[in-house]
Amino acid sequence: MTRGLPHSVRSVNYATSPLLASKTPPWRSRFVVALVGVAFLVLLGRAVHLQIVATDFYQAEGEKRFIHKQPLPASRGRILDRNGLVLATSVALPSVQVDAKTFSADTAQRKALAAGLGMTLAEINGKLDGVSSGAVVLRRHVEEAAWQQVKALELKGVQEVREYKRRYPEGEAAAHVVGFTNIDDKGQEGIELGFQDQLLGRAGQRAVLRDRLGRVVEDFGDPVRPVNGSDVVLSVDSKVQFFAYQRVRDAVKEHNAKAGSVVVLDVRSGEVLALANYPSFDPDNRRNLTGSQLRNRALTDIFEPGSTMKPFVAALALDSGRVTPATMIDTAPGRITITGSTITDSSPHGMLSVAGVIQKSSNVGTVKLALAMPAREMWEMYTAIGLGQKPRIDFPGAVTGRLRPYKSWRPIEHATMSYGYGLSASLFQLARAYTVFARDGELIPVTIQRTDTPTGGQRVMSAKTAQQVRQMLLMATSAGGTGTKAQAIGYSVGGKSGTARKQEGKGYGNKYRAWFVGLAPVADPRIVVAVMVDEPGKGSYYGGEVAAPVFSQVVQQTLRMMNVAPDIDVKAQISAKPVVAEIESF
């Protein structure tokens, strides 16, 4: 016995302990070993799954937390005029956003942020309050100076993203041609809408590695470069467009009118040189924009074309061999009654030649020409010049107009349609129709895109007939005609004025549309110009008084820009006494 040990310890005999003396069953030790082995296999399998089987999934999940894909926006294609001047282009501007998770700013700092962005504190709080994560866009497309002011605040979590915004250098003068895009760079009106697929590019993207605060650390992998949109080159000449816009704007204001439009066509190529409307809008600032400003009236508004249809009736009678320009027609006593309805002239003219009917714009003479021909022939002529059909032009919004089948015409409608009542057309359709006279009997296709190739047309009448009508149109702008104010300095012009009452309900009220459609120079036409002024309310409302002066100014300016040599002695024109225009019938 060892001295110093407790008694309880000394009294234990380990050799005879029942616990140690009992035999352990073999299965228990095997079970423990197996359990350890299974645990090892599970861990090994999990390691294999993570490192080999599911490596792509977990790597992707990791990348989601640290690698982010940033879009690389594509620049929208430019819109250019025929001379390469920019009508629409895209510029990269900052869009300001905040990372809600890391953003931190007190009330004073939020006020400074709001001031820099041109927002109110309430607007800032409304965007940020209640948002705990993710990117919150505060304002898109801010100017560079505003972003620098915000950046100088050094607020945590404030970021910029570069996005493209459209700019329109020609402003309201070309607004209805070019149109505009929305904030997401999608075309909404005009060429922007009509050529959306061509102008729109393909966005790219890049992968970046960010730290836990959302800051970009480095690029990850190769970026997918954006593909910019293609440019669109228009047939429009921005100088002609601007001048036409100015002249119609001035006419609308001078006559206290509701609206006005001008269309200028190149008759050799079928190109649209100008398409102007007033009222207009600034595509760069569309706040408080109204539907009236947006309407491209030259293409979308239809109206009864009035006396501008008379030359086509005369052409039909000439082309069919029924009359010659010298054939006399008795228009006395200045009125004619058909099935109880009386049609009158503005003043009695007595005996008039066919050429004189057009020069004096006689309703009675035109009606007698029309009634001497079947309604079907007149309908075929109107159809051949494009009335009642949608213009084939790459431009949204062009309307069809109205031309009823000839079988439904009553005698009075046969008569009124000869001087432009009972059918409807747009100013653009009228301008194209007059290319028949400018192109010696061919109706030409029109285009809004630049082309350097002269175009062929569809024959509607003989060249001789077209040339004879051109001389009648020249007479209409000369002494004794209804369109003397259409004369242009240095250039011979031919055209037809028109005035029509506007429909109000089932009848006609005391509101008018005035227009003038013509060509120049007469011997070898280069352009067709059509002018419309809607509801002139001050002074005269006749086309020869209201629209013809705009035609004159646009013609002489356009032909000079096209370097067309004058065909009239300017001195002789200046020394000649001014002539008083005849009042047209309507």
Residue 259, H or E segment: strand 259-266
Q: Give the number of C-alpha atoms closer than 13 A to the C-alpha of residue 23, restricted to the C-beta side.
A: 3
Residue 231 burial by CB count (10 A; 0-12/13-18/19+): exposed, middle or buried?
A: middle
Nearest of 27, 25, 110, 64 to residue 208 by alpha carbon: 64
307 is catalytic: yes
Strands 187-189 and 180-181: antiparallel
Nearest of 417, 223, 233, 159 to residue 307 by alpha carbon: 417
Catalytic residue (choose from 307, 346, 353, 492): 307
Residue 79 burial by CB count (10 A; 0-12/13-18/19+): exposed, middle or buried?
A: buried
Neighbours of 286 (CB within 10 A): 14
The span from the first CA to the last CA of the chain, in angstroms, equals: 147
State the Cα–Cα distance between residues 382 and 129, nearest whole angstrom. 65
Nearest of 434, 446, 409, 456 to residue 530 by alpha carbon: 434
Q: Give the number of C-alpha atoms closer than 13 A to the C-alpha of residue 531, restricted to the C-beta side.
A: 33
- For residues 387 and 369, the answer to whether their CB atoms sit within 8 Å is no
Question: Where do we find the tokens 């000369």?
Answer: 478
- For residues 231 and 80, the answer to whether their CB atoms sit within 8 Å is yes
State the Cα–Cα distance between residues 177 and 277, nearest whole angstrom. 9
- For residues 100 and 157, the answer to whether their CB atoms sit within 8 Å is yes
- For residues 393 and 446, the answer to whether their CB atoms sit within 8 Å is yes
State the Cα–Cα distance between residues 513 and 541, nearest whole angstrom. 7
State the Cα–Cα distance between residues 175 and 536, nearest whole angstrom. 23
The DSSP call for residue 78 is P
**Which sequence positions are flagged as catalytic?**
307
